[in-house]
Amino acid sequence: MVIPKLPLRILMLHNFYQFSGGEEVSMEAEINLLRQAGHQVTLFSKDNQEIDHYSLAQTLQLPLKTVWNLSSYRDVRQELQYHQSQILHVQNFFPLFSPAVHGAARSLDIPTVQHLRNFRLGCLNPWLRRQNKICRDCVGKNPWRGVIYRCYRQSLPASLTLWGMVTWHRWSRTWHHLVDGFITPSRFAAELLSQMGIPGDRLYVKPNTTPDPFALAHHHPSPLPPSPRFLFIGRLSAEKGLDLLLRAWAELPVSDWFLEILGDGPDRDRLQHYVQERQLKGVTFHGHQPKPILHQWMQQATAVVIPSQGYETFGRTVIEAYAHGRAVLASDLGALPELMIEGETGFLVEPANIFAWKERILWAGEHLTEMETMGRRSRQVYLQNYTPEVNYQQLIEIYDKVLR
């Protein structure tokens, strides 16, 4: 890995969600990658769990602070000066920091980068979903419809607060005046974000960093299991599509294949009840698992299945599967098609077509030799495009552009 002669001093800023997810995983992997290369990275963070302990006065002030938080402005300015930071990399500022963090950096003439791993700056539901379906009603428009539909947390006050933040900063052109670069993980996301008002001339596409990138880069794939074994990893909620996958599994004319489900979420009890009620064979729920365990399961899988029913801005699980030399069956939706080479690293499947999922899973289980060939091709794609060296170089090139 190339290490710059002058390592950068980077202030990484993140507002943690109440329930951690892929954004935090990607951010932590990115920090590790930069530190491995010799850069000084300081994480400055807040956590949404703080809101649970707010007084009534603090709760009432939160909507205004979501738009522009003066205390965050002062705190970030102080952190930048104390660490003599050369760049501010904002992962997530909502809701406790606010876009004021970019103003703090601008006041010190320090370049800023804003990571965009969802669509919150243009849609009150950051994943473009309403009533468990894809919704593009506000793309390229003012998202006032999201207030009427209560798209944020199904709450009128919360939706109104987020609408105020989005509208104010779009009207005042904050993203044009205070942010030097935006990073998003796919061309699909970049196109939608441009329609939402993010300046396209400073919007960069860089894949998300995988956890344990150095271990994955030097990993040697294991042989496929003798019996077909499919792996689902993700949050157990409607947009991830496990409901549809189980219905497709129920149609398979086999009883000695395995479907391993790793993850947790609000739909777990309902999905487990469905499995028990239908007496589905070979289906096991393993709950949330740490990354090393997830990697072990990937090494034991025939293929990784990603039946997403909503827009993914990336698809880190695809890349992790590739690193382990595993083919992927993924929904032909969102950013997932960008990561796939149809028929070479796996297959794209019509998202809501249960019959199509059944047929593709059946084919994969009956053609293990072909799946092994696809797995080898997947590993090649990973080594060519998604290793830590490649990802690091992409990030440093973005930093270099905003610094200049």
Q: What is the DSSP code string of 217-274?
A: HT--PPPPPSS-EEEEES--SGGG-HHHHHHHHHT-S-SS-EEEEE---TTHHHHHHH
Alpha-carbon distance 222 to 297, whole Å? 11
Output the CA–CA distances (angstroms, integers) from residue 232 to 185, 262, 285, 306, 363, in the order listed.
Answer: 22, 6, 10, 7, 17
CA nearest neighbour of 282 among 306, 300, 266, 261: 261
Domains of the chain, start order: 9-117+173-210+388-403 (3.40.50.2000), 216-385 (3.40.50.2000)
Distance (Å, rounded) from C-alpha 204 to C-alpha 75? 28
Longest dimension (CA), the chain: 65
Which pTM was predicted?
0.92
Which residue type sits at 30?
A: E
Question: What's the confidence (pLDDT) of residue 1?
Answer: 41
pLDDT reported for residue 2: 44
Cβ burial, residue 230 (10 Å; 0-12/13-18/19+): buried
**Tens-binned pLDDT, residue by residue, of the chain (404 aa):** 444 447 999 999 999 987 667 788 889 999 999 999 999 999 999 998 898 889 989 998 999 999 999 999 999 999 999 999 999 999 999 999 999 999 999 999 999 999 999 999 999 999 999 998 999 999 999 999 999 999 998 999 999 999 999 999 999 999 999 999 999 999 999 999 999 999 999 999 999 988 665 556 566 788 999 999 999 999 999 999 999 999 999 999 999 999 999 999 999 999 999 999 999 999 999 999 988 899 899 999 999 999 999 999 999 999 999 999 999 999 999 999 999 999 999 999 999 999 999 999 999 999 999 999 999 999 999 999 999 899 999 999 999 999 98
Spatial CB neighbours of 319, under 8 Å, sequence gap ≥ 6: 207, 208, 210, 339, 382, 386
Contact 348, 368 (CB under 8 A): no
Per 3-state DSSP, what percentage of the chain is helix, strand, and coil (rounded to 5)?
45, 15, 35
What is the per-residue pLDDT for 190?
98
> Can you give the C-alpha Rg of the chain in angstroms?
22
Which residues fall within 8 angstroms of residue 176, CB to CB, at 6 or more apart? 199
368 by Cβ neighbours in 10 Å (0-12 / 13-18 / 19+) ranks as middle
CB 36 within 8 A of CB 43: no
The C-alpha torsion from 117 through 118 and 122 to 126, rounded to 10°, is: -160
Q: Is the peptide bond before 4 cis (omega within 30 degrees of 0)?
A: no
